Amino acid sequence: MTTSINTRPSVSEATALIAKRMSRAINVEHEMGLMNVERFNQLLNHRVDRFSFENETARAFFVKAVIKQINKEEYRKVFPQMCMDANGNYTYDSSKWA
C-alpha cells in the first residue's frame, strides 16, 4: 500500500492492514500468554478508533471486515472452537465432542 500524507487508504486497504497487524499481535501475545478475548478487543478497538465513521453501523461493518481477514489459525488462538459433548455441555476439549 502506497499512500502519501494527503491521501487515505481505501476501505479494503485499511481492513487488510489492520488484519495483518492484528494477526501479528495475536501471535506475539499468544506466545507470551497474554492474548485473550478482552485483549483482542482492546487491540482491535485501538486500531479501529484511528478511523472516523458516519455511524456505529459503518464501524461495525468495518470491524467485521477486519475480523474476516484475520487468518483462521490466529483467530482460533483467541476464540477456540467450542462444541457440545454427549451430556449437552459446551466444551473446548475436542475429544469430548458428541
For residue 1, tell me if it sits in a domain: no
For residue 63, tell me if it sits in a domain: yes
For residue 31, tell me if it sits in a domain: yes
- Of 92, 88, 90, the closest CA to residue 80 belongs to 92
**pLDDT tens for each residue of 60-92:** 999 999 999 998 899 999 988 889 988 999 988
Which residue range is the domain that position 84 belongs to? Answer: 11-96
For residue 69, tell me if it sits in a domain: yes
3-state secondary structure of 28: helix
Q: Which residue has the cell 459503518?
A: 58
Q: How far apart are the first and last CA of the chain?
A: 46
For residue 6, tell me if it sits in a domain: no
Instruction: Give the chain's domain count.
Output: 1
Amino acid at 21: R
For residue 65, tell me if it sits in a domain: yes
The reported pTM is: 0.74
**From CA 45, how far away is CA 41, in angstroms rounded?**
6
